[in-house]
Amino acid sequence: MPRNIVIVGGGVGGTLAANLIARKVRSGEAEVILIDEDGRHIYQPGFLYVAFGQKRPASLSRPVQPLLDRRVRLMRAKAEKIDPVAQVVKTNQGDVSYDEVVIATGSHVAPEEVPGLKEASHHFYTMEAAESLRDVLRGFGGGRVVIGVAGVPYKCPPAPLEFSLMLDAQLREKGLRNKTEMHYVSPLPRVFPIESVSEVVTPMMEARGINIHTFFNAESVNPQKREVTSLEGETLPYDLLVLIPPHRGARLVQDSGLGDAGGWIPTDRHSLRALEHPHMFVIGDATNLPISKSGAAAHFEADTVAANLLADLRGEAMEHQYQGRVMCFLETGGGRATLLNFDYNHPPHPPKPSRLYHWQKAAFNQVYWWTLPQGRLPGEKRPPKRGAHQSTPEGTRDSGD
């Protein structure tokens, strides 16, 4: 009887892992089931461009089903609890037992952890927040702008820096830069978690007149006085506040007792198996690994998850090791970008920003839907979909989404 391989979460990590596993499963060996609540896949890196009016929100969302290999069954249901002892995922559509499970539940922003932040600050880490910030920027006529990070860890570490540099460029284009005072705050001793990147980006920010405040751990925001205060006692007034909220692991992980205090699942940094639960693998933001919480990390983790999960299912040694590989672009404004390429043992050494890297990132944003979630390289033909279906409360039906 085929065994069950269950993936919880239809983001980039879950979708890619499901596709890679399905292609490697032997005939009759297992059924691959992806559980996702709303059945839509969101391209989150595009939120940055929504905030600047450069991307339409509708272009960043598509149904999950067409992105899946025909051998993956999509179950549209809300996962409510994961029981690692009984090996069951409890959903609002019934329980799903598993022989192997992949936790790809991502993370969520928690602005409520900093008093006043939710009421006073803007960010671009959800679609709704990015749209709101876009509307604010359209009417912004100058003033004091405070940008930064309100807590670590947070998704896509380059994004706040990208926003700062892109905003500087946009204000110059509009003739508003001389009417604007820009400040960047970081809870770390530098502007970026990795020192070699900070050494490259800090001079750029200084040259553009962006004031830097390190060791600024946001303690509270006063919406009436329009001030943000740090644990260290520094207070900054603002006219526009763009602080990335603290991030926490998925509520499902917390409700299931799988995570640490922040909701991150303790994960072996090489095998990507959960340290405390056999037959459970973790990918993307859900891990507690000391690397970027980003789709770029999930991309490189997926091969390891697929290979080791199937080895575990078959009672074989898990030989595939993830080395912490991450590769992503960092926009520097003015139609230029640089590249971050690193792993556990090799820090990035960003090259000089150029238009080439900017256009490479722009090109990737366009071809994303046909490549990364499906585990294919540009130019590779997609196999025909036969028998695509998805599970619904009424049963199984053809996907017309």
Instruction: Give the domain-ending residue among 226, 243, 260.
Output: 243
Question: How far is CA 290 from each of CA 248, 326, 329, rounded to the nearest angstrom?
Answer: 15, 12, 19
Q: What is the pLDDT of residue 391?
A: 39
The answer to the question of residue 15 being in a domain is: yes
**Contact between residue 241 and residue 264 where contact means Cβ atoms under 8 Å apart:** no
Q: How confident is the model at residue 387 (pLDDT cuts 50, 70, 90)?
A: very low
Angle, alpha carbons 6-12-17 (nearest 5°)? 40
237 Cβ contact partners less than 8 Å away, ≥ 6 residues apart = 144, 225, 226, 227
Based on the domain organization, do 28 and 10 belong to the same domain? yes
355 alpha carbon, distance to own chain's centre: 25
Based on the domain organization, do 394 and 257 belong to the same domain? yes
Question: How far is CA 323 from each of CA 17, 279, 328, 343, 346, rounded to the nearest angstrom?
Answer: 17, 21, 16, 6, 10
Based on the domain organization, do 118 and 199 belong to the same domain? yes
Based on the domain organization, do 41 and 138 belong to the same domain? no
Angle separating helix axes 158-173 and 195-207, nearest 10 degrees: 20
pLDDT digits (tens, 9 = 90+) for 325-367: 999 999 999 999 999 999 999 999 999 999 999 999 999 999 9
Mean of pLDDT over the chain = 93
Instruction: Give the domain-ending residue among 195, 222, 243.
Output: 243
Q: How many CB atoms neighbour CB 33 within 10 A?
A: 20
Angle, alpha carbons 232-235-240 (nearest 5°)? 130
Give strand pairing partners of 7: 34, 102
Tell the residue number behind the tokens 């993307």, with chain if given: 284
The answer, yes or no, to whether residue 213 has pLDDT greater than 80, is: yes
Based on the domain organization, do 138 and 82 belong to the same domain? no
Provide the terminal-to-terminal Cα distance of the chain, rounded to the nearest Å.
Answer: 31
The answer to the question of residue 194 being in a domain is: yes
Based on the domain organization, do 102 and 153 belong to the same domain? no
The answer to the question of residue 341 being in a domain is: no
**Contact between residue 25 and residue 18 where contact means Cβ atoms under 8 Å apart:** no
pLDDT digits (tens, 9 = 90+) for 228-249: 999 999 999 999 999 999 999 9
Q: What is the pLDDT of residue 379?
A: 42
Q: How confident is the model at residue 378 (pLDDT cuts 50, 70, 90)?
A: very low
Based on the domain organization, do 284 and 317 belong to the same domain? yes
**Contact between residue 87 and residue 167 where contact means Cβ atoms under 8 Å apart:** no
Q: What is the pLDDT of residue 398?
A: 28
Q: How confident is the model at residue 80 (pLDDT cuts 50, 70, 90)?
A: very high
Q: What is the pLDDT of residue 9?
A: 98
Q: What mean pLDDT comes out for the span 293-315?
A: 97
Based on the domain organization, do 195 and 207 belong to the same domain? yes
Give strand pairing partners of 185: 148, 213
pLDDT digits (tens, 9 = 90+) for 157-205: 999 999 999 999 999 999 999 999 999 999 999 999 999 999 999 999 9
Q: What is the pLDDT of residue 376?
A: 66
Based on the domain organization, do 124 and 189 belong to the same domain? yes
Based on the domain organization, do 389 and 257 belong to the same domain? yes
Based on the domain organization, do 321 and 188 belong to the same domain? no
Number of structural domains (the chain) is 2
Q: How confident is the model at residue 264 (pLDDT cuts 50, 70, 90)?
A: very high
Based on the domain organization, do 117 and 90 belong to the same domain? no
pTM over cut 0.75: yes
Residue 83 tokens, joined:
């029981």
Position 289, amino acid: L
Position 182, amino acid: M
Q: What mean pLDDT comes out for the span 103-107?
A: 97
The answer to the question of residue 342 being in a domain is: no
The answer to the question of residue 338 being in a domain is: no
The answer to the question of residue 356 being in a domain is: no
pLDDT digits (tens, 9 = 90+) for 13-68: 999 999 999 999 999 999 999 999 999 999 999 999 999 999 999 999 999 999 99
Q: What mean pLDDT comes out for the span 264-285?
A: 98
The answer, yes or no, to whether residue 279 has pLDDT greater than 60, is: yes
Instruction: Give the domain-ending residue among 243, 266, 290.
Output: 243
Q: What mean pLDDT comes out for the span 256-279?
A: 97
The answer to the question of residue 219 being in a domain is: yes
Q: What is the pLDDT of residue 13?
A: 96
The answer to the question of residue 278 being in a domain is: yes
Q: What is the pLDDT of residue 372?
A: 85
CATH number for the domain spanning 141: value is 3.50.50.60
Q: What is the pLDDT of residue 375?
A: 80
In terms of Cα–Cα distance, which of 301, 361, 290 is closest to 325?
301
Give strand pairing partners of 100: 5
Percent of the chain that is helix, strand, coil (3-state, to 5): 30, 30, 40
Q: What is the pLDDT of residue 325?
A: 96
Owning domain of residue 236? 110-243
